[in-house]
Amino acid sequence: MTSIQAQRVAGGAVSIFGEMSLLAQRHQAVNLGQGFPDFAAPDFVKQAAIAAIGADLNQYPPSPGWPRLRQVLAAQWEREHGRAVDWVHEVSITSGATEGLYALTQALLDPGDRVVVIEPAYDAYLADVRMAGASALPVRLCPPTPATPRWSLDVAALRDAFAQRPKLVLLNTPHNPTGMVLTRDELELIAGLCRYADTLVISDEVYDRMTYDDAVHLPIATLPDMWDRTITLGSTGKTFGVTGWKVGWAIGGAALNQALRQAKQWITFTTPTPLQEATAVAVEHAAAHGYYAQLRAEYAARRDLLRELLTRAGLQPLRVEGAYFISCEVRRFGFADDQDFCRWLIGAAGVAAIPTSIFYGRQDDLPQIVRFCFAKQHATLLAAGERLLRIAR
Ligand SMILES: Cc1ncc(COP(=O)(O)O)c(C=O)c1O
């Protein structure tokens, strides 16, 4: 039979994720591949959802989002960034940041439009660009070197990409999978290129609360003349450790919000009411009770623990400035690529990781880097650490 799948959904990445999960199950591996917490969600978050369902907030909300949540998010932005946000026109709620990405690419891109995608890139980006019929202009980050121990922008490649007048750039900071947090200088460079090429920005900031050491998260939308051309995405799933809720938000210029809403009405139309109300309660509680500082401290402790365990196993972790992943360069293990290394690691150590090659379109000339997730209980990380000693050399 000929393929039943349309070309827009045919792709390789899903099968590698599937293969790794299957292998992990077969070997009863400690799974540090999956990018979500294995610990309980905060009680105030769970109670808020239970209360919302109990209060019968169970019918369709307005399509752009539950007003209370949009108000709370607008107030939070104003508190943190000093710009008044019009919650009616400048904040929309989505079913996870995933829907925000899909709705926006559908709403903004026509076939033939060009989109700058900074690689490695969260796997939805290339898929969303492809499903919109647009063309990706991939620009690879430069991996850390002993002389420059953080990931960095390839400025010449970025300039070349923007010279092609892309309609859109997809940014992600703090970054999955590398843990890079774009600095003010880097953001200013990108903002300058966007103004020069008249390019719109989707800025995926779902890990904005997870930054470490002296890394500072700065939304590109706060830079001069960037508000109207930028839409910033956030996620209840990441911020409150409830990835199964699939509630996200989009904050930015009214025209971009309007475009998003026009697509969203034909995708999900709405996002579950009680989980929107619960997110509003959670965001208010977070600000009043120092939740974000606590979250950052807890994740920093998990990062430090996993970094130490990886080092003890001889894996040489790369620097992490934000998000909840640690990467390791593994070329010296002598495998053909990072996927082979991950297959071997599951069998030899009983630990699952993700090969970062799946975050690239073209597969030539890639670094061999694998990603471990530290959004896990200390017990899980310690169990992984013990198993990783099996491959210590
Ligand atoms: C960079 C990035 N963007 C978006 C998402 C998806 O967010 P959500 O669960 O809110 O749809 C993820 C989830 O892993 C992510 O890593």
Statement to judge: residues 167 and 54 lie in one domain? yes
Distance from the alpha carbon of residue 171 to the mean position of ligand 1, in angstroms:
13
Query: With 70 as the cut, is the pLDDT of residue 124 above it?
Result: yes
> Of 238, 269, 289, which residue is a domain's last?
289
How confident is residue 248, by pLDDT bands cut at 50, 70 and 90? very high
How confident is residue 3, by pLDDT bands cut at 50, 70 and 90? confident
Tell me if 97 CB under 6 Å of ligand 1. Answer: yes
For residue 308, the model assigns a pLDDT of 98
The answer to whether residue 142 sits within a structural domain is yes
Task: Give the tens place of pLDDT for each residue, 176-195.
Answer: 999 999 999 999 999 999 99
Query: With 80 as the cut, is the pLDDT of residue 63 above it?
Result: yes
Residue 255's domain comprises: 43-289
Q: Which atom of ligand 1 is nearest to the CA of 95?
A: 11
Statement to judge: residues 282 and 327 lie in one domain? no
Average pLDDT, the chain: 96
Q: Position of tokens 């890079």?
A: 180
Closest CA to 384 of 22, 35, 33: 33
For residue 97, the model assigns a pLDDT of 98
Statement to judge: residues 220 and 253 lie in one domain? yes
Mutation pick for ligand 1 pocket among 34, 122, 171 (CB with most ligand atoms within 8 Å) = 122
The answer to whether residue 15 sits within a structural domain is yes
For residue 79, give Cα distances in angstroms to 84, 217, 277, 284: 9, 15, 20, 12
Statement to judge: residues 48 and 35 lie in one domain? no
Terminus-to-terminus CA distance in the chain, angstroms?
Answer: 49
Statement to judge: residues 350 and 360 lie in one domain? yes
Query: With 70 as the cut, is the pLDDT of residue 1 above it?
Result: no
The answer to whether residue 126 sits within a structural domain is yes
Query: With 80 as the cut, is the pLDDT of residue 393 above it?
Result: no
Q: What is the 3-state secondary structure (H, E, C) of 265-298?
A: CCCCCCCCHHHHHHHHHHHHHHHHHCHHHHHHHH
Distance from the alpha carbon of residue 15 to the mean position of ligand 1, in angstroms:
19
How is residue 183 written in tokens?
């600095």
The answer to whether residue 32 sits within a structural domain is yes
The answer to whether residue 1 sits within a structural domain is no
The answer to whether residue 2 sits within a structural domain is no
Statement to judge: residues 342 and 231 lie in one domain? no
CATH number, domain with residue 269: 3.40.640.10
The answer to whether residue 163 sits within a structural domain is yes
Distance from the alpha carbon of residue 312 to the mean position of ligand 1, in angstroms:
30
Task: Give the tens place of pLDDT for each residue, 307-338.
Answer: 999 999 999 999 999 999 999 999 999 999 99
Statement to judge: residues 264 and 308 lie in one domain? no
Q: Mean pLDDT across the stretch 134-141?
A: 98
Q: What percent of the chain has pLDDT over 90?
A: 93
Statement to judge: residues 84 and 215 lie in one domain? yes
> Of 240, 270, 289, which residue is a domain's last?
289
Tell me if 33 CB under 6 Å of ligand 1. Answer: no
Statement to judge: residues 84 and 135 lie in one domain? yes
Torsion of CA 187, 189, 191, 194, to 10 degrees: -140
Mutation pick for ligand 1 pocket among 128, 181, 238 (CB with most ligand atoms within 8 Å) = 238
Statement to judge: residues 159 and 96 lie in one domain? yes
List, in sequence order, every beta strand (DSSP E) within the chain. 30-31, 91-94, 114-119, 135-140, 168-172, 200-204, 230-235, 248-252, 325-329, 351-352, 354-355, 369-373
> What is the Cα–Cα distance from 97 to 247, expressed in whole angstroms?
7
Statement to judge: residues 337 and 296 lie in one domain? yes
Tell me if 206 CB under 6 Å of ligand 1. Answer: yes
The answer to whether residue 84 sits within a structural domain is yes
Number of domains in the chain: 2
Q: Mean pLDDT across the stretch 227-243?
A: 98
Task: Give the tens place of pLDDT for each residue, 276-311.
Answer: 999 999 999 998 999 999 999 999 999 999 999 999
CATH number, domain with residue 355: 3.90.1150.10
3-class DSSP assignment, residue 29: coil
Statement to judge: residues 103 and 29 lie in one domain? no
> Of 289, 317, 349, which residue is a domain's last?
289
Q: How many other C-beta atoms can be found within 10 angstroms of the C-beta atom of residue 199? A: 21
Q: Which atom of ligand 1 is nearest to the CA of 236?
A: 10
Does residue 204 contact residue 101 with C-beta atoms inside 8 Å?
A: yes
